[in-house]
Structure 1
Amino acid sequence: MCGIAGSFGGPGPDCEHIARTLAVMRNRGPNANGEYTADIGGNVLCLLHTRLSIIDLDPRANQPLETDECVLVFNGEIYNFIELRTDLERRGHKFRTASDSEVIVKAYLEFGESCVDHFEGMWAFALHDRRRDVLFLSRDRFGEKPLYHAYWDGVLYFGSEVKFIAALSGRTPVADNVQIRRFLVNGYKSLYKDPNTYLQGISELPAASSAVIYEPDRLQPTRYWRLSYDPVPMTREVAKDEVKALLYRAMEIRLRADVPIAFCLSGGVDSTALASIAALHFGQKLHAFTVIDKDERYNETENVSATVARLGCDHHVVHTSSEGFFDRMEMLIDYHDSPLSTISYYVHSFLSEGIAANGFKVSISGTAADELFTGYYDHYGFWLAEMHERCDFPDLLADWRGSYGAHVQNPLLQDPLAFQKNPEQRGHIYLNRDMFNELLVTPLSEDFSETNYSGNLLRNRMLNELFHESVPVILREDDLKSMLWSVENRSPYLDRALAEFLFSVPAEHLISNGYVKSLL
């Protein structure tokens, strides 16, 4: 995990702008920093890097990583780097480090731009191909690692955070009032319908996309991977067995690090499953961190304590505090360069701070289990709408009423047949938009929209949450709240093989006996 930034075009940034940018990048990479410049047909390419050392702690693995053919700056982790390195060595490649960064370079030399098809992990990188004099940018499949870009005055700027672009360019970006109103009226789920940000002219490279850039004004992302719902007939038991095997593998490769790893542990099944796999199957000595809220409505001490006792965790309890609330919120908003998506990230900030204070550089969390396995109230309603022609549908309704239905508070979701009656109903997502719109001088006229991924109502909703609504927001907040304190966050559920298999499982197996996440 690191920070990257760069520019392509014109005479290049001066020493003052480079120094200022590296200083701003320091929290993402406090262990080392470096820079690289090259002239490409009269356009100067500048690559900057700050390093948080996790794999191969030796200075030989510092970046920019240079070979005769390529120069790389990279943020993230390639979890299958050991297997890839073995394959590349068989193909004749020599290595001088033990890092995953060098594996990216050698894989690019072997496979070209399709090297990303071989990676399992999270990444955002910029690579200068010295042989072709082109810049290659890439971002991981789910968008775990951020990569922003802007084109101003003939220069392409890019970086892990928008403030890096501002520092390197010397510009003060202007707020995008449309995006601000979108957040105020429609909430955080409306923010990733397009690649725009809260700042005019700054966009994100989309997840699962790469770009080969010959000229500064020609950044055209190409999608290299898509997830779709392609059901394959199988029994529930077969599905459960394969999910177990794939989740074990996803966890195994995400335990690779040359520094200690912390686990974020709540009282829920998502984080508990990951901690249990690490401790019981892989024998990992667990260092678990839990936020305990004084409000009994949100206190999960009982469930967490049971897990800690069973797994023998070294358990760290982090307490939230309302003291200095506004100062902390101001600090978080300033660092995010945007509003916090929800108040829960105020709470999560204490967790990341506690992990860092105890000397950990890596944390593992249960991000995206809800979107991959079904974890939201409306998922049950969409599932019932898909199951309505089954002969046992009355029993499925009875299961809902006897378990899940008793906990639904959103009035638009309390009717289990809501989506059978009106499959297009999405009012529960932008629940208070009319009320908030009335408070604005210039109302927002955008209606709810979603991408059509699948004819299956539930699967289509889940894919929209994965790529346009919930998960992109969570990943951005996870990245920022952890990197503020120089901690890398890993999300084992966001594994390509696991996700592809889950979206081959017939939707009927996702919910069972009144319980969502039946495969987990």
Structure 2
Amino acid sequence: MCGIAGFIDFSKRSDFQLLKSMTDAMTHRGPNDAGYEVFEQEHAMIGLGQRRLSILDLSASGHQPMHFDAYTIIFNGEIYNFREIRAELELLGYTFQSDGDTEVLLKGYAAWQENILDKCIGMFAFVIYDRKKNEVVLFRDRAGVKPLYYYWHQQQLFFSSELKGLMAHTAFPKVIDPNSLSLFLQYSYIPGPYTIFRHTRKLSPGHLLRVSLQRREVEEAGYWNVLKSYQQEVTKLTETEVIDHTRSLLHSAYNYRMVADVPVGVFLSGGYDSSSVAAILQSDSSSKIKTFTIGYKEAAWDESAEARKIAGFLGTDHHEWIVGPEEARGVLEHLPEIYDEPFADNSTVPTTLVSQFAAKEVKVVLSADGGDELFAGYNKFNQSIRYTSSMPQMVQRSISGVMSLVSPELIPYFNKQYNFSSRYEKMKLIWASGKPQQALKYISQYLTEAEVSQYTGLAKSSYKTNFDLNGELGNIADPLNRLLAVDYKTFLVDNNLVKVDRATMSVSIEGREPMLDHRLVEFLAQVPTSLKTKGGVNKYILKEIVHKYIPRELMERPKRPFIAPLQEWFRDELKEQMRYYLTGERLARSGFFQVKEVEKLLEHYLAGGKVSHQKLWNMLVFQLWYSRWIEKL
């Protein structure tokens, strides 16, 4: 696990010191070693930098940039099956000086070029400088576990594992993109490929970016797409065969993620996803695996007791930390440093805290993101289908039209209910569209487009996101599978994976996502949805597997998200921080908000009004980010 950064500068204005600044801005991603090299080529200056967190092959032989023949590589991530790939290469006559995966990836590229990706089980973002083809190629893994940003404008291409690496280059213009800001306020994250800055993108998962040094051209192309898996024929396996094969894949995926030369642990929340990781790994291990949980003093939000019971049953080496608003206050000020793009997921605070906690014991930790997308766990999937299929589309459109004529504020009783105006607007849009995937889009928003305009004055974002897939979903017959595919390409990659990557790397530990093994993803995409939800039970397949390891009575309880009680804290212990960053003066300084409207919303919320705290949290996070990255630099 590492951080990588660099440039391909056709103007030849970038130099070694700029490369070092870009790379060292991510020292937290790799505190164990650093490497920087600049190549002056006929057409461009090429800079390749890497910060190393030693997980495999802790010796100096893993130093990067690494060279072989006409190729140079910088690499962030892990190739879990590197030993099998190495054996193939040795049969072809290749020899190795190191015991890690970087050299295997480099020589695999020399042998098979981009086809090496077909052999890799892992998470990665890496860059190859190919002097034979006179090109530089950037790669990102299939699921997007490892991040990679790039800026391309005025004959300069900068790339980095985090935005802070780009911002360390003096030629990088920190110009906020209003379209992206609008998307952030709606979703609490910025859907890819967009970023908060103009001319700056996230390299999409399953994509590569090819830079021709001679032609000075940049081209992004895909090599893997989850939609293709969902477009395959549904498997003919029986229920028992599906469960058995899924269980086998989970064992393989989970155990691959234990490959390391340093201590490894597991985040355990007590839900089915993380419990499956802990249970399967413990069943395959002769020693106790380490599990980590945080809980809250507020009982309504606390799951630590459930996690403790599961850890006790499995016999793990369990670690627990009960936190409150004081610990949250300590994290809040650092969030813009950790998440250097506006990012307001409600669980950033607990994820950061549990990462800090785990870092005292381990250098690698397994998370369980992807379970809800692969096994159909979120209620929003059921809601999206129910809302758009409960009545004929003509009736839906008629109701939506009537709703457009009536202000929700004028409807007695309901106008006093929690977040009613937002829910009213969303249902109006859902019934106007009549499509489950559009329903998922609106359900996923914390502020509607109309509310963004109300509180900022920004126009509707003109950017199309993966929520707006339409024809691309045409070959996926089942509505639920369509929603799973969309959520995989939006919320999973740009929210959940960002959250865990930045939180773990902020304390220099490696986060791994075993449920996103592409073999598991591809297989489950072809499983009929009648097995993913059966008899009214979400996650039916996963639950049947978990019950083979953990008694049903320990697992069956209402699903609770892994979030902090910010709604309570912001009205009490953290109220002053909310007031400070959302004062009229500070709002005016950023220049994007309608001050009076935001102040009115804040006072209504603090007075106990039935307002979603997430709306204000999104604004607060942007203000925190703006203060750190725009005002201070």
Give the alignment's TM-score, normalised by structure 1.
0.88
What residue is the counterpart of 1:79 in the other structure? 80
CA distance in 1, matches of 2:184, 2:26: 27
What residue is the counterpart of 1:106 in the other structure? 107
Change (3 A) 1:172 1:281: same
The question of whether the paired residues in 2 share the 8 Å contact of 1:31 and 1:51 is answered with yes
Alignment-mate amino acid for residue 187 of structure 1: Y
Report the CA distance between 1:139 and its aligned residue: 0.5
Report the CA distance between 1:323 and its aligned residue: 2.0
What residue is the counterpart of 1:213 in the other structure? 211
Question: Do residues 270 (structure 1) and 270 (structure 2) align?
Answer: no
Report the CA distance between 1:438 and its aligned residue: 2.2
What residue is the counterpart of 1:199 in the other structure? 197
After superposing the two structures, state which structure 1 stretch, 110-119 or 19-28, moved more.
Answer: 19-28
What residue is the counterpart of 1:315 in the other structure? 318
CA distance in 1, matches of 2:178, 2:384: 34
The question of whether the paired residues in 2 share the 8 Å contact of 1:250 and 1:495 is answered with yes
Change (3 A) 1:213 1:338: closer
Change (3 A) 1:442 1:211: closer
- The count of aligned residue pairs is 491
What residue is the counterpart of 1:66 in the other structure? 67
Question: Do residues 339 (structure 1) and 358 (structure 2) align?
Answer: no
CA distance in 2, matches of 1:382, 1:27: 40
CA distance in 2, matches of 1:325, 1:381: 32
What residue is the counterpart of 2:456 in the other structure? 440
Alignment-mate amino acid for residue 378 of structure 2: Y
Counterpart selection for 1:508 from 508, 511, 530:
530
Report the CA distance between 1:428 and its aligned residue: 2.6
CA distance in 1, matches of 2:447, 2:458: 17
The question of whether the paired residues in 1 share the 8 Å contact of 2:33 and 2:53 is answered with yes
The question of whether the paired residues in 1 share the 8 Å contact of 2:367 and 2:512 is answered with yes
Counterpart selection for 2:488 from 453, 466, 476:
466
The question of whether the paired residues in 2 share the 8 Å contact of 1:81 and 1:103 is answered with yes
Report the CA distance between 1:265 and its aligned residue: 0.4
CA distance in 2, matches of 1:374, 1:213: 38
CA distance in 1, matches of 2:451, 2:225: 37
C-alpha deviations, 1:168-208, integer Å up to 9, x for none? 34435122222112222x2237x32x411011221111110
Change (3 A) 1:223 1:76: same
What residue is the counterpart of 2:500 in the other structure? 478
By percentage of residues, which structure has more helix?
2
Change (3 A) 1:323 1:172: farther
CA distance in 1, matches of 2:261, 2:93: 26
Question: Do residues 234 (structure 1) and 237 (structure 2) align?
Answer: yes
**Secondary structure, counterpart of 1:262 in structure 2:** strand
The question of whether the paired residues in 1 share the 8 Å contact of 2:267 and 2:367 is answered with yes
Map of 1:269-418 to 2, 5 A cutoff? Answer: 269-323=272-326, 325-326=328-329, 328-356=331-359, 358-381=360-383
Question: Do residues 187 (structure 1) and 203 (structure 2) align?
Answer: no
What residue is the counterpart of 2:601 in the other structure? none
The question of whether the paired residues in 2 share the 8 Å contact of 1:30 and 1:486 is answered with yes
Map of 1:16-31 to 2, 5 A cutoff? Answer: 16-31=17-32
Alignment-mate amino acid for residue 444 of structure 2: I
Report the CA distance between 1:91 and its aligned residue: 1.6
Alignment-mate amino acid for residue 250 of structure 1: A
Change (3 A) 1:468 1:169: same
**Secondary structure, counterpart of 2:168 in structure 1:** helix
CA distance in 1, matches of 2:120, 2:7: 25
CA distance in 2, matches of 1:179, 1:235: 45
CA distance in 1, matches of 2:366, 2:277: 8
Question: Do residues 430 (structure 1) and 445 (structure 2) align?
Answer: yes
Report the CA distance between 1:242 and its aligned residue: 0.6
Where structure 1 has 5 or more consecutive residues not aligned to the other structure, the ranges are 389-408
C-alpha deviations, 1:340-393, integer Å up to 9, x for none? 32221112110111111x1421110110100000111133356779999xxxxx
After superposing the two structures, state which structure 1 stretch, 104-113 or 175-184, moved more.
Answer: 175-184
Report the CA distance between 1:23 and its aligned residue: 2.6
Report the CA distance between 1:131 and its aligned residue: 2.5
Question: Do residues 3 (structure 1) and 3 (structure 2) align?
Answer: yes
**Identity percentage of aligned residues:** 29
What residue is the counterpart of 1:498 in the other structure? 520
CA distance in 2, matches of 1:37, 1:16: 10
Alignment-mate amino acid for residue 523 of structure 2: F
Give the alignment's TM-score, normalised by structure 2.
0.73
Alignment-mate amino acid for residue 362 of structure 1: V
C-alpha deviations, 1:399-430, integer Å up to 9, x for none? xxxxxxxxxx9989xx9xx99x9444614333
CA distance in 1, matches of 2:386, 2:280: 31
Change (3 A) 1:435 1:8: closer
C-alpha deviations, 1:229-267, integer Å up to 9, x for none? 221222211110110011111011111000000110001
CA distance in 1, matches of 2:15, 2:33: 21
C-alpha deviations, 1:36-80, integer Å up to 9, x for none? 222332312110011000001111111111123211100000111
CA distance in 2, matches of 1:250, 1:387: 37
Name the Cα RMSD after superposition. Answer: 2.6
Greater gyration radius: 2
After superposing the two structures, state which structure 1 stretch, 451-460 or 21-30, moved more.
Answer: 451-460
Alignment-mate amino acid for residue 59 of structure 1: A
CA distance in 2, matches of 1:465, 1:105: 33
CA distance in 2, matches of 1:384, 1:243: 28
What residue is the counterpart of 2:510 in the other structure? 488
